[in-house]
Amino acid sequence: MMTKFRLQDHILVPEHILLSEEEAEEVLKTLGIKKEMLPKIRADDPVAKEIGAKPGQIVKIIRKSPTAGKSIAYRLVI
Amino acid sequence: MIPKRIGGIKFEVLSPQEIRRMSAAKIITPETYDDDGYPIESGLMDPKLGVIDPGLRCKTCGGKAGECPGHFGHIELAAPVIHVGYAKLIAKLLNATCKECGRILLKNEKRDEYIEKIENKKRLNQDYEDIIKEVFRVTKSVKVCPHCGAEQIEIKFEKPTSYYEGEHKLTPKDVRERLEKIPDEDLPAFGMDPKAVRPEWMVLTVLPVPPVTVRPSIILETGQRSEDDLTHKLVDIIRINQRFLDNKEGGAPQLILEDLWELLQYHVTTYLDNEVSGIPPARHRSGRPLKTLAQRLKGKEGRFRGSLSGKRVNFSARTVISPDPNISINEVGVPKIVAEELTVPFHVTEKNIEEARELVLRTEHPKANYIIRQDGRRIKVLDTNREELAEKLEPGMIIERQLMDGDIVLFNRQPSLHRMSIMAHYVRVLPYKTFRLNPAVCPPYNADFDGDEMNLHVPQSLEAQAEAKILMSVQEHILSPRFGGPIIGGIHDHISGLYLLTRGEKLFTRKEVMSIIKPLNVSELPKPKYVKDGVEYWTGKQIFSMILPKITIEFKAEICQGCDECKKENCEFDAYVIIKDGELVKGTIDEKAVGAFKGIVIDEIIRKYGKDRAKKFIDDMTQLAIRAIMYTGFSFGISDEDIPEEAVKQIHEVIAEAEKKVEKLIEAYKKGNLEPMPGRSLEETLEMKIMQVLGKARDQAGKIASRFLGMDNSAVIMAVSGARGSMLNLTQMAACIGQQSVRGERIKRGYSYTNRTLPHFKPGDLGAKARGFVKSSYKEGLSPVEYFFHAMGGREGLVDTAVRTSQSGYLQRRLINALQDLKVEYDGTVKEQTSGMLVQFRYGEDGVDPTKSFRGKAVDIKRIIKEVLSEES
């Protein structure tokens, strides 16, 4: 069997961070929106599975961006 | 008033009862009007269906024409017919249900499982099409009914409206009976709500007749009535229906009845959709296909795209455009006859009543066309009532005043692909019949003057006018949001003119300088550069500096040769531009400095002094350039491509040598001595090498030609300064056209059985000439064989552009539809307007407005450093 490796180690996979309840609350407050208005990520998405995201939680994604250097996005797990 | 909002729309299928309930009249005769021109009762124009003739009253609601919205009627069909729109669904349903008991071909538990799944998806607002598809797929393969045990025979659906059970054809009546048997409980599994749709309603027994107002007849000039296409079709349906009934009562043989039934089906089908595949479309007597229900809705000219999404507007004009370099870039020349037709509302108040009175009394151009009284009545101002109206004028009235100089209008050229396609201009009323615009604004509109037409709209409210001035005026759009640089700037002659003016040290006497700067508002001349024999001389660079504000920049011009090491201010080509405190010290002004899309000088001015100064610079620049080019004179003709005998000889030598090389390559290939390049077959290697050799030969020929043409040749001036054309164009005109290609390869198609392109060559000839190398120049002229190959390559180019425009047009449409209600909020996030869904957390990830960026970059560090350093010193 092939050795299991971390998906996030791949250069094309951006960093995914699972937010705690308080952090999630904070993010929604600063954005001034409801959870459902965020973009979605599926709970069975390979990266979501890797970080153990459960539906209802929020994932923070840090991408490299050609225009801004680093860009931060949030996704609701469904 | 609290505005009412639509919460939702639900579509259902009309049941026969519903059709009868909403019907105002049963229609039985195909006649429309009697001999006196009155509508016949129970006919297709029954007055109960509403009225279109003025003077008559509707028999249902009593309204006059225009008041009565019209009412539906109905036709009782003698035999059921399939509704084409549902034909496919009917086929699926027949295959999904038992032919005997009508139950779904699934066990109850399995059925409930699917219903559960669909309900779930519906609740989550997700697409449930896939599950329904699965239900139909699973049930179709079931052979024995799980409820009654009856064996199932697959029903074949034949377009457009026939169903076969094995060899046996099902009549619509059979179909309807089967659909009736499907119980309500099974319907949710097919995605149907039994309250909204019963499957048997998809087989028509009653046909609704649309109100007369939907299909008005028109009276031709000859006095004849001409009926609408829908009425024609309904007449056909009623006729056949009647004939079917008569035959049935008369006991006609089954065969004849079946034929009539088929005919009735045809008429009902084409009534609903006249473009169904598999049957010929119903035609008008003249041979034109009828425009029936589906055709009214479908496509670009249909109800949705043509009448609802797109409408026509008042206060607009369209005509041919032509250039006028003497007006500002934010002006538009409006023909007087257009200005006399378009109006702007003028609200009469106590303060301006005298002015208003004057407008009403005027008999020439900026006069009043209409007066709108407080009660909303519009009165046309005529010679006969002018004085009376002026007398009665009072505050609160509105005068529709003719368009005049200084009014703001929106100017547009299709296709409106970006926001610069509609900009606000100030009106200049001019004689003749074309819209005039400054040629510097051609790039954003992508306009030229080969017959282009443009549209003009007059904003009516003060809010709209203010918004147009602040947000849409031309100077607001000098910088493009596409790449953060100027999109408005000099083109063609502007660039040639300034190039001629500023190149090297051209000297002008006082008189000459005056004639060049005449259109500019310059009150003081700088100190003359030279004084010889008591005569003062100014350089072209000094003249250009007169229109520059105080800016300091350095850059390489378009004519820069790209030397290995830049000598900067000592550039021997005068290609290194230095502007110091608004003074052109060194270098030549060309496309890089003032051209649209490039325009470094314009860019600098707009950043340092703002939009209005940049607008003024462009205005001055165009005027100056045109004066400058007129001063020296500038022309181009076929003799400008003349090259000496000697050059021709050299070019021929180069090409002959290349052809020899090609022959050698082919020989090597045939002998098998050719070394294949990595990853390429032998044939591909040969092709690539030949292309390389011939390409090089053409470049060499071009170099020879350009050496003999010289820098004062007008074609060369245009090419190097970036005004028009390229060196390649010149090469092709003067030296050699080069290899023609189809699909990026040398031309190889033709007589494939002999493997040659034309019968002029030996089979299998791979030589340059036989594969589309054109060694002539456009000036020399092409040989017949060359001409043919050139036409092949040329045709491919034409087809490519045609395909590309249509494809990118459609892509644009889809993109705009997808993006139209996204908005950048004040906090920098991008949200969808209707649902509030977040699309981007920060616009473009960096939150930068590209118009305010420096050529796409958020900060121009170089510039900041330069500014700080210059402040210190």
Q: Which residues of A touch B836 (CB under 8 A)?
A: 33-34, 37
Shortest Cα–Cα distance, A67 to chain B (Å): 6
Question: Taking CB atoms and an 8 Å limit, are B841 and A33 in contact across chains?
Answer: no
How would residue B557 be classed by pLDDT, with cut points 50, 70 and 90? confident
Over the stretch B805-858, which tens digit does the pLDDT of each residue have?
889 888 988 998 889 899 999 988 999 988 888 999 988 888 888 888 887 777
Taking only the tens place, the pLDDT of each residue in B762-818 is 888 888 888 888 988 898 889 999 999 999 999 999 999 899 888 988 898 899 888
Contact A73 B835 (CB under 8 A): no
Domain with residues B316-477, CATH architecture: Beta Barrel (2.40)
Q: How high is the mean pLDDT of chain B?
A: 88
Confidence class for position B394, pLDDT limits 50, 70, 90: confident
Which chain B residues have a beta carbon less than 8 Å from that of A34?
A: 836
Q: Which residues of B touch A38 (CB under 8 A)?
A: 838
In whole angstroms, what is the distance from residue B588 CA to residue B722 CA? Answer: 12
- B360 φ/ψ angles, rounded to the nearest 5 degrees: -65, -35
Contacts of B841 in chain A (CB under 8 A): 31, 71-74
Do A71 and B827 count as a contact with CB atoms less than 8 A apart? no
**Which residues are CB-neighbours of B829 under 8 A, at least 6 positions away?**
A31, B838, B840, B841, B842, B843
Q: How confident is the model at residue B565 (pLDDT cuts 50, 70, 90)?
A: confident
Confidence check: pLDDT of B260 > 70: yes
CB B497 within 8 A of CB B628: yes
The mean pLDDT value for B455-475 works out to 94
Is residue B423 scored above 90 in pLDDT?
Answer: yes
Closest partner residue to A74 (CB to CB) among B831, B837, B841 is B841
C-beta atoms of B845 and A32 within 8 A: no
- Per domain, the residue ranges of chain B are 84-202, 228-308, 316-477, 493-632, 638-787
CATH 1.10.274.100 fits B493-632, yes or no: yes
Give the 3-state secondary structure of residue B39. strand
> Nearest C-alpha of chain B: how many angstroms from A71?
6
Evaluate whether A23 touches A17 at the Cβ level (below 8 Å): no
Q: Which pLDDT belongs to residue B216?
A: 87
Beta-strand (E) ranges in B279-325?
Answer: 316-323
Interchain contact, B848 vs A39, CB within 8 Å: no
ipTM of the complex in this document: 0.90
- pLDDT tens digits, residue range B632-672? 889 998 888 888 888 888 888 888 888 888 888 888 888 88
Residue B401 pairs in a beta bridge with: B344, B368
Helix, strand, coil percent content, chain B, rounded in steps of 5: 40, 15, 40
A3 pLDDT exceeds 80? no
What's the confidence (pLDDT) of residue B873?
A: 60
Residue B139 has pLDDT above 70, yes or no: yes
Distance, in Å, from the CA atom of B83 to the CA atom of B90, rounded to the nearest integer, reads: 9
DSSP string computed for B414-461: SS--SGGGEEEEEEEEESSSSEEE-GGGHHHHT--SSS-EEEEE---S
**Between β-strands B422-430 and B331-335, what pairing exists: parallel, antiparallel or unpaired?**
parallel
CA nearest to B825 within chain A: A31
Please tell me the predicted confidence (pLDDT) of residue B436. Answer: 95
Confidence check: pLDDT of B299 > 90: no
Q: What is the pLDDT of residues B469-510, one digit of tens each?
A: 999 999 999 998 888 889 998 888 999 999 999 888 888 888
- Which chain A residue's Cα is nearest to B841? A73
> How is the beta sheet containing B155-158 ordered, strand by strand?
B155-158, B162-165, B168-170
Report the side by side order of strands in the sheet with B378-380: B343-347, B398-402, B368-372, B378-380
Look at A68 and B841 and tell me if their CB atoms are within 8 Å: no
In sequence order, the 6+-apart residues with CB closer than 8 A to the CB of B418 are B444, B480, B481, B482
Cβ B479 vs Cβ B584: under 8 Å = no
Average pLDDT for residues B735-753, to the nearest whole number?
85
pLDDT at B446: 92
Q: What is the edge-to-edge ordering of all strands in the sheet holding A40-41? A: A15-18, A58-65, A69-77, A40-41
Nearest chain B residue (CA) to A36: B837
Smallest Cβ distance to A67: which of B827, B841, B844? Answer: B844
B845 and A71: CB-CB below 8 Å? yes
E strand or H helix at B728, and its extent?
helix B727-734
Query: What sign for the dihedral angle of Cα B346, B352, B353, B354?
Result: negative
Contact A67 B837 (CB under 8 A): no
List chain A residues with CB under 8 Å of B125: none
Residue B463 has pLDDT above 90, yes or no: yes
Say whether pLDDT at B333 is over 90: yes
A4–chain B nearest CA distance, Å: 33
Q: How far apart are CA B44 and CA B232, in angstroms?
A: 10
> What is d(CA B179, CA B194) in angstroms, rounded to the nearest whole number?
12
Cα–Cα distance measured from residue B535 to residue B434, given in angstroms and rounded to the nearest whole number: 46
Residues of chain B in Cβ contact (below 8 Å) with chain A? 827, 829, 831, 835-839, 841-842, 844-848, 858
CATH level 2 (architecture), domain B638-787:
Orthogonal Bundle (1.10)
Strand segments (E) across B106-211: 155-158, 162-165, 168-170, 203-209
Residues 6 or more apart whose Cβ sits within 8 Å of residue B271: B230, B233, B234, B236, B237, B292, B293
Per-residue pLDDT tens over the stretch A42-55: 999 989 888 888 89
Share of chain B above pLDDT 90, in %: 24
Closest approach of B441 to chain A, Cα-based (Å): 30
Q: Where are the beta strands (DSSP E) in B90-224?
A: 155-158, 162-165, 168-170, 203-209, 218-219
Cβ-Cβ contacts under 8 Å, A63 against chain B: 845
Alpha carbon of A50: minimum distance to chain B alpha carbons (Å) = 24
Q: How far is B129 from chain A (nearest CA, A)?
A: 20
The residue of chain A nearest to residue B844, with distances taken between CA atoms, is: A67
For residue A31, give the nearest of B829, B837, B858 by CB distance. B829
pLDDT tens profile B683-698: 888 888 888 888 888 8
pLDDT at B461: 93
